[in-house]
Amino acid sequence: MKHLKFVVTDFETTGHASKGNDRIIQASFVVIENKQITGQYTSFFNPEIPIPAFIEELTGISDDLVQDAPFFHEAAKDILPLLEGAVFVAHNVAFDLQFLQSELERAGYPAFSGAAIDTVELARIVWPTSDSYKLGELTGNLGLVHDRPHQADSDAYVTAEMLLLMIEKLEKLPMVTLEKLQRLSIRLKSDIYLLIKAIIQTKQSNIEQLPEQVEVYRGLALRKKKIEQRMIEKNTPSYPETEEEKAALFAAVPHLELRNSQMDMMDLVHRSLQTSQHLAVEAGTGTGKSLGYLLPAVYQSKQEKEPVIVSTYTVILQQQLLQKEIRQLQQLLPFPVQATVLKGRNHYIDLYKFSQSLKDTNDNYDFILAKMQILTWLLETETGDVDEINLSSGGELFWNEVRQDSDYMNKGRKAWLDKDFYIHAKKQAKEADIVITNHSLLVADLMKENAFIPACRHVIIDEAHHFERAARDRLGLSIDPITCKQLLGRVGTYEQKELFYEIEKLVVKYGSSDKEDERRAINRKLQELQFEMDEWFKVLQLYFEKHTKKRSGNWHRRQLRLTDETRSLSHWDHIEYGAERIESLLGELISWMKQRLGQIGESREQMTASEQVRMDNFKEVMEEWQEFQHTLLRLIFRPEEEEVIWLEGDGRSFANTFVIRSHPMEAANMIQDTLLRHKHVIFTSATLAVNDSFRFFTAETGLSSFDHEEVILPSPFDFKQNCRMVIPNDVPEVKSVHQEEYIESLANHLTAVAEAAKGRMLVLFTSFDMMKKTYDLMKDSGLLDEYILLAQGITTGSRSRLTRNFQRFDKAILFGTNSFWEGIDIPGEDLSCLVIVRLPFSPPDEPFAQAKSEQLTQAGKNAFSAFSLPQAVLRFRQGFGRLIRSSTDRGIIIVFDRRIQTNKYGKTFLQSIPDILIEEASLSETISIIEKWL
């Protein structure tokens, strides 16, 4: 390490085209020698071209600032000595290195020929669980001071500090991990292998002492795991029945206030747990719902000495429960609380598969990077859960190769049994007081004979308004081209040297004599199946595009429900012919697979561990092919009566988005038979009731057939004082004008409202197409140039990243559809104005909504009032709930859909939200109201 010199660099440039006209306008070089920053050279440069406005805005560097600065060729004589014998380092090094080489070439100097390290690539390996690898977010998480982002001197210095921290972390890694990283790093894009090699050479001169929490097993360094045993108190703690007892608990934790509604929730849940009477409880925003059920659940668990299951719909709530609410609970209670998260098998790494994968030498770049990330992550993770690690999309494909996917124990996996994360998770769940899981896994587990979730009596279902939908999702079937390709790819043809090739080698070794003719015949069948699959999806696409129109909700996304009518349209017979050929070929190949497994099965004990893995993988694929064959027959030829089947896809990328999907028409019977008859269940959410009635929810979930209690706990917030609603009366009705005219009017209103509210505005749409057009109009108008406009599916970033960015800027407008109606939490002044463009009814041509309406109509019910309206009201209530998130929040809601006032059913929406002042107003009156209110 002492011999390595690093020059950490950052350039500000006029653009991205280093080979074109773009030039460096500021450069900074930070020198690191012997793991110390020893100097920094920074200079502005005259680029000899104007600096674009957006670059000036981003960097603060103007034409005036660089007018008298030297040209790069004049400063090159000072820069070249810094680079001599150094490793060139930058955050996204390819960008900076290209600019350096171009400037050196223009100046008549030879190109830089030394090594280069990319700190983005290195950070992915060193900090595999980081949410983001952007410089600002990395340095913020590390606590490094970075006061002038997009200024070269600040960026280069903070990158140098970050490099030193990464070197420090690498030096602490066990030698077995470093040696594996070095072997892999030769295939990276930058010269990280030099750094790892130098660290290994330094460490070799010392005797290694592993940290206490780390062990090395079969050449793999891991964090040690231990099962936290259930704490059995001598005297079972008693639930705090009185207000005084609860207050005494909360008094121990500063800043945590006990609310009356929260006490009511605790008592309701406690009584339900004691009596085992099912409960549906709606707990309004600010009730303190999570602690309201967790506290009595822990007391119940201690009393019965078995876990209470808590199921959520979103990963966000799972993390919040574990990282925030359980910690608060631990501070409150005078005894220890044990909680664990349980996920589906494929969330957990299979250590045997991963250890075997390290022997492969023909990986692509994404696989190499993923392996390196996992090697460092294994020293930190106690769960082995993929959700902890930030893999690229290519890395996620690698994860599919090393994740858990079967209970079957081959020779190799048996050796890793004691270290297995999945088994550890199951053992830990049995010892926990609270087991947190998700709706999908809970439903899947309920339908299994060997349940994964510990046998226990009590289940609390949070975000319960999603439970029936999650159950239908889980019960549904699907076929898509990508999965089909992967299924075929895992077996491969003989020439591709995948499982088919491997199994044939085992047959020759352990089975019978080499039958060349038989192998060729199977190879032809596999090629034929690949051809038939490709042709079938082409026919499907033709049929789909011919018989669908662009849906109003999304310009590109299309859906087509499969009914007796659509199955009689042109090209459907071609789909059936193609499916018959595929099904027939699958049948022949599955028979061959069974035969091959039979031939080598008796020799299993003589096989090596890796040979057993190949055999097991082949068996897994055969079972997946059988499942696919069953799904194909069911969806194309044997649809069930109480089932909706549809095709969907995006016209811009059919191959990546197309899917044939099915859902049962309802999940109530399954929920009754597997859950409500055998467990005690508490359903809770901020939105369960429609117009103060649980009728819709209890019918959907089957709860109406059981003895149960229904309670609404209203929000403790003073909505009347802190919130008001305006319905603009000078926006045309959407159906009375062309969509372009409506969107133009909407964009004009939103622009004026945004200026009056000074941003801090969330705009909720029901249609992606309408959102995109409105966003484009507002952005292109130039009237909101000083505002940051963020839009779901348009501006890059996940929902949580868009929300974070919205909170970072004072003048920001956030546009969202679908998932933005719920689950995002923006408290305080960051969000002061909520806009609901349209009432959130499902599009009438949406396949499930269409089928459900037909089913209800045939049963003599009013489909609108029995399904469409309550579903829309619950969604509207979720959207409404985004605005007031704390007792001190103030805000205004603007609803552009006048049906809320003019239609009879509008009252149902208004009666389902808290009592607030509602008024109709013109645009000028609306602006005046906003300015006065905010």
Half-sphere exposure of 87 (CA within 13 A, CB side): 22
Q: Which residues pair with 726 in a beta bridge?
A: 894, 919
DSSP string, 708-768: EEEEEE---S-HHHHEEEEEESSSPPTTTS-HHHHHHHHHHHHHHHHHHHTS-EEEE-S-H
- Cβ contacts of 873 within 8 Å, gap of 6 or more: 690, 691, 908, 909, 912
Q: CA-CA distance, 619 to 627, in Å (whole number)?
A: 13
- The alpha-carbon radius of gyration of the chain (Å, integer) is 31
Q: CA-CA distance, 579 to 583, in Å (whole number)?
A: 6
Tokens of 703: 């709860």
Q: CA-CA distance, 777 to 809, in Å (whole number)?
A: 21
Tokens of 131: 């949410």
Assess contact for 848 and 905: CB atoms under 8 A.
Answer: no
Annotated binding-site residue numbers: 283-290
Q: CA-CA distance, 96 to 99, in Å (whole number)?
A: 5
Query: Cα-Cα-Cα-Cα dihedral of 244, 248, 249, 254, to 10°?
Result: 130
What does the angle CA 801 – CA 802 – CA 807 come to, to the nearest 5 degrees?
95
Tokens of 510: 């352990």
Cα-flanking dihedrals φ and ψ of residue 255, to 5°? 70, 5
Q: CA-CA distance, 850 to 561, in Å (whole number)?
A: 9
Assess contact for 194 and 87: CB atoms under 8 A.
Answer: yes
Annotated binding-site residue numbers for ATP: 283-290
Burial of 253 (0-12, 13-18, 19+ CB in 10 A): middle
Assess contact for 501 and 494: CB atoms under 8 A.
Answer: yes
Tokens of 696: 């819709």
Please name the helix (run of DSSP H) or strand (run of DSSP E) that holds residue 875, with its range, or none: helix 869-880
Q: CA-CA distance, 71 to 247, in Å (whole number)?
A: 71
Half-sphere exposure of 405 (CA within 13 A, CB side): 16
Four-residue CA torsion sign, 163, 168, 174, 176 = positive
